[in-house]
Each structure stands twice: as structure tokens, then as C-alpha cells.
């Protein structure tokens, strides 16, 4: 049974569901940690969060156009270029074939960030749903989900399109993750469809930060790369998933 203090805290969290994402609100760090411990679902960004690298940058390097694409990724993740514009421009440079994508996954599979496997396992053990919401590519993100035992229907990412001969044919621009604000749209949909009251978003980039609200809390992650704009605006910022594992022990 909850103590009177806990009762008041939970009432406060329910009454101000969208005041937990910014350091400029009256939410406290302890409030956000309580939301995390009591989350119905936790949504992770993938590139530079769940995995060490940026998938699109790795694909660009593999296709021999790494330098041009890496700079666009930096601008997109820092928020100085719209996500969709950056995605279209980067893919127009890469123009990868289906064979190149498959070979990338075989020869250079994504490297999981230390601690993520243990964290996802712990969340699953506690009955918390785990989702991957990425502006990256579905073929790569599904590979990561399989490694983490996350159901593939819990994956939201951009779908590359190929012609019958395997050549690049564009990407599915109808996916919510193809646009700025897309991660928030996915979270809104998940809350509506599943009745989630507390959803936490974890990520390194500007597109992750802007997903809160509708997420009830945002945890900035700097274990692979620190983006100053995101760190500055994050009430809760961690550099290791073990910090979150430790928090789950404080029940």
C-alpha cells in the first residue's frame, strides 16, 4: 500500500502529465525518476542511444560517401536542420542498394551500447513495455530489436524502398518517423491504443527531446555522444544505462 506521501506524489503526476519534460517547469528530478520507475512503457531512440553508432552514417561510409552525410546528421540531431530535409538529402547522396544494406548488416552489424541489454531485460521483467522509435531504417532497427528480444511490432522506423533489381527507390515518406515531431506522434498513438498513462522517452537527439510531451518524461542519453542543446534542456541526463538500472532498484 502506498504511503500518504506516495499518494500525493502520484496524484501530482497525474494532474500535470505534460510538465515533466523541461527544466523550465516546476517538475523535479525526483518526480521524473518516479515516473520512470512506474512507467507503463519506455521508448528508446536507437542511433547513438541503443547502439553506439548512427546507422545512416555507417551506411554512408559503407557506400563511400561518409563525410558528406556525417555533417548532415550532426545538423539534424542538433536541431539546426529539419529532420525530413536532412533525411532526404542524405539518402539522395547514399542511394544504397538492397545488397549494400544486407552486406552492411552482415559485415558491420550494429554495436549495442553497454548496459542496454540488461536494462531492457529488467524492464521486461517488471512488465514494462519496451519500444524502439527511430528516424533510422527499419531493416537495421529490426536487427537491433531481435538482439534485445523486443517484439518487431514494437519497432517504428523508416522503410527504405527498392526497385525489383534491388536499386534504391526512395523511402516511405508516409511513416511518422520520416518527419520532425514523428516520434511524438508514435507515442501519442501508443498511449491512445494501449491506454498507457506514463510513457518515458530516452534518447540523445533533438527529435527525442521534442517527443516530450506527449511522453510524460524524457531522459537525455549521452553515453555515446553528447549533444549540448539536448543536455542543456534535459532535466534528467545520464551517460550510462547502468544509472537507469540502479534507479529501478529504488522501489
What the chain holds in terms of domains, given with CATH numbers, is 29-53+111-250 (3.40.50.1000)
**Annotation says 208 is catalytic:** no
**Annotation says 47 is catalytic:** yes
- pTM summary value: 0.80
> Would you say residue 8 has pLDDT above 60?
no
pLDDT of residue 21: 56
Residue of 7, 40, 45, 107 marked catalytic:
45
pLDDT band at 25 (very low <50, low <70, confident <90, very high): very low
Report pLDDT digits (tens) over 197-222: 889 999 988 888 888 888 888 998 88
- Alpha-carbon distance of 145 to 140, in angstroms, equals 9
Please state, for a pLDDT cut of 70, what percent of the chain lies above it: 84
Report pLDDT digits (tens) over 90-138: 888 888 888 888 988 888 888 899 999 999 999 999 899 999 998 888 8
pLDDT of residue 96: 86
| DSSP letter for each residue of the chain | ---HHHHHHHHHHHH-TTSSS-TTSS--HHHHHHHHHT-SEEEE-TBTTTBSS-HHHHHHHHTT-HHHHHHHHHHHHHTSS-HHHHHHHHHHHH---HHHHHHHHHHSPPPBPTTHHHHHHHHHHTT-EEEEEEEEEHHHHHHHHHHTT--GGGEEEEPEEE-TTS-EEEE-TTSGGGSTTHHHHHHHHHHHHH--S-EEEEESSHHHHTTTTTSSEEEEE-SS---HHHHHH-SEEES-HHHHHHHHT--
Amino acid at each position: 500500500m502506498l504511503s500518504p506521501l506516495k499518494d500525493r506524489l502520484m496524484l501530482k503526476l497525474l494532474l500535470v502529465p505534460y510538465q515533466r519534460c523541461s527544466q523550465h517547469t516546476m517538475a523535479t528530478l525526483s518526480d521524473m525518476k518516479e515516473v520512470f520507475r512506474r512507467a507503463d512503457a519506455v521508448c528508446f531512440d536507437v542511433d547513438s542511444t541503443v547502439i553506439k553508432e548512427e546507422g545512416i552514417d555507417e551506411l554512408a561510409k559503407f557506400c563511400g560517401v561518409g563525410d558528406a552525410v556525417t555533417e548532415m546528421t550532426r545538423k539534424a540531431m542538433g536541431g539546426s536542420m529539419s529532420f525530413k530535409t536532412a533525411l532526404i538529402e542524405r539518402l539522395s547522396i547514399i542511394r544504397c542498394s538492397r545488397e549494400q544494406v544486407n552486406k552492411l548488416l552482415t559485415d558491420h552489424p550494429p554495436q549495442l551500447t553497454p548496459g542496454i541489454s540488461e536494462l531492457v531485460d529488467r524492464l521486461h521483467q517488471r512488465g514494462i513495455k519496451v519500444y524502439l522509435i527511430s528516424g533510422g531504417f527499419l531493416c537495421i532497427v529490426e536487427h537491433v530489436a531481435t538482439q534485445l528480444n523486443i517484439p518487431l511490432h514494437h519497432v517504428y522506423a523508416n522503410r527504405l524502398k527498392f526497385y525489383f533489381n534491388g536499386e534504391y527507390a526512395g523511402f516511405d515518406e508516409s511513416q511518422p518517423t520520416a518527419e520532425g515531431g514523428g516520434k511524438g506522434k508514435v507515442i501519442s498513438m501508443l498511449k491512445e491504443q494501449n491506454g498507457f498513462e506514463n510513457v518515458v522517452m530516452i534518447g540523445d537527439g533533438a527529435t527525442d527531446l521534442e517527443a516530450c510531451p506527449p511522453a510524460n518524461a524524457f531522459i537525455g542519453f549521452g553515453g555515446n555522444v553528447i549533444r549540448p542543446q539536448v543536455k542543456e534542456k534535459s532535466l534528467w541526463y545520464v551517460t550510462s544505462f547502468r544509472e537507469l538500472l540502479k534507479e529501478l532498484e529504488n522501489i
